[in-house]
Copies of this chain bind each other. A is one copy, B any other.
């Protein structure tokens, strides 16, 4: 079954760009390049990873060549380790060897790692060339919109980066059909997040369509990604460089990042870690006096999607607290958290006592004796 092609625009003035979500889109790449006036004489670099390359790279390349574009493929190893300066260096070399010029385009075909890495190449090669995002995971609906690109340093994640908006985001739902179920669930966690911070109706719809979403029904998935990208794009268009509002996108991320760091990256998937983090943020809301139903409802929905809402028993709460203190969201003794005020809205709190956080981290541990 084919899903309708949905389109939305990230409103950023001169840098505004469309997001297209639908089936069979990768084979239309060349056509879209031509329509948007990308110059044929400037070679294209297609950056992808070893898992995605054999599934989808040829479709994109064939389409580009049919429209008269020259394209070179650069394949990186699957996983976060590819977001390094040395892999970046290799991609710059690939861009030089492919003869990319100032009017060339770098395409990211893959998940968040490929998007962040290829985006940093596009942001810096010859001081910036065109960039196109083609996410192939559900999770990447988040990172592919908004222009944050980066690589890691051995001492800190995402510390070397830029804001570099894509020319467009092409989201081919067909690429999601091959995702393992655990990644589907974890990806959906980031989609629900966009409902929880901004849109109660969408949370309700999401809750009611759990079965179709987990079954990768293209129409349901297309709608959910559209709504998720919409929230992201509204927030980004109001605060491109994260001076204030954009911080709300970090709901669940303070605890989530700490859990990922302590568990070792890859043990807990990002979407799983932030599901636990959002459960924690909902408990903070209750502590601040908001409706206790926020916490109960948040946990119920995550459980329905098979997502964790408890910290694995082998993770040490001290280590989690320590990791949070290193997080850049921590300032001078008090902690900064995005806290729900109801289902579908949040506030940025700079005044969260760290002993409340500690208390909630303890409560969230598996087997902590609470229902």
- Report whether A96 and B153 are in contact in the complex, using a CB–CB cutoff of 8 Å: yes
Contacts of A371 in B (CB 8 A): none
Chain B hits for A150, CB < 8 A: 127
- Chain A positions 294-341 with a Cβ under 8 Å from a chain B Cβ: 328
Is A89 touching B159 in the complex (CB atoms < 8 A)? no
Considering the chains assembled together, what is the distance between the CA atoms of A244 and B287 in angstroms? 58
For A124, give its contact among B89, B128, B161, B241 (CB under 8 Å): B161
Is A160 in contact with chain B by the CB < 8 A criterion? yes
- Per-residue CB contact flags for chain A residues 88-127 toward chain B (1 = under 8 Å, else 0) read 1100110010000110000000000000000000011111
Task: Give Cα A163–Cα B126 distance, bound, in whole angstroms.
Answer: 10
A227 to chain B, nearest CB (A): 27
Q: Decide yes or no whether A162 CB sits under 8 A from chain B.
A: yes
The number of chain A residues touching the other chain, given as a range, is: 20 to 34
Is A74 located at the chain interface by the 8 A CB criterion?
A: no
A156: chain B residues within 8 A (beta carbon): 96
Are A162 and B96 in contact, with the CB atoms below 8 A? no
Judge whether A148 is part of the interface by a CB distance below 8 angstroms.
yes
B96 near A159: Cβ-Cβ < 8 Å: yes
Number of chain copies forming the complex: 2
Main secondary structure of the interface of A (DSSP, over half): mixed
22 contacts between A and B (CB under 8 A): A85-B88, A85-B89, A89-B153, A92-B153, A92-B159, A92-B160, A93-B153, A96-B153, A96-B155, A96-B156, A96-B159, A101-B328, A124-B124, A124-B160, A124-B161, A125-B159, A125-B160, A126-B161, A127-B148, A127-B161, A128-B163, A128-B241
In the complex the two chains form, is A162's CB within 8 Å of B89's CB? no
Chain A residues within 8 Å of B, Cβ to Cβ: 85, 88-89, 92-93, 96, 101-102, 123-128, 148, 150, 153, 155-156, 159-163, 241, 328
A104 to chain B, nearest CB (A): 12
Evaluate contact between B328 and A102: CB separation under 8 angstroms: yes
Identity of the chain B residue whose Cβ is nearest the Cβ of A124 in the assembled complex: B160
For the complex, give the distance between the alpha carbons of A159 and B102 in Å: 10
A323 to chain B, nearest CB (A): 16
Is the Cβ of B127 less than 8 Å from the Cβ of A163? yes
In the bound complex, how far is the Cα of B126 from the Cα of A328, in angstroms?
A: 10
Q: Of B123, B148, B153, which contacts A162 at CB under 8 A?
A: B123
Chain B residue at smallest Cβ distance from A150? B127
For the complex of A and B, 10 pairs with smallest distance between CB atoms: A127-B161, A124-B160, A96-B155, A92-B153, A85-B89, A127-B162, A127-B163, A96-B156, A92-B160, A85-B85
Q: Least Cβ distance of A79 to chain B in Å? A: 20
Contact partners of A89 in chain B: CB under 8 A = 85, 153
Interchain nearest-CB distance for A329 vs B (Å):
11
Docked-complex contact B162 and A162, CB < 8 angstroms: yes
Q: How far is the CB of A50 from the nearest CB of chain B, in Å?
A: 24
Question: Cα distance A328–B161 when bound, in Å?
Answer: 25
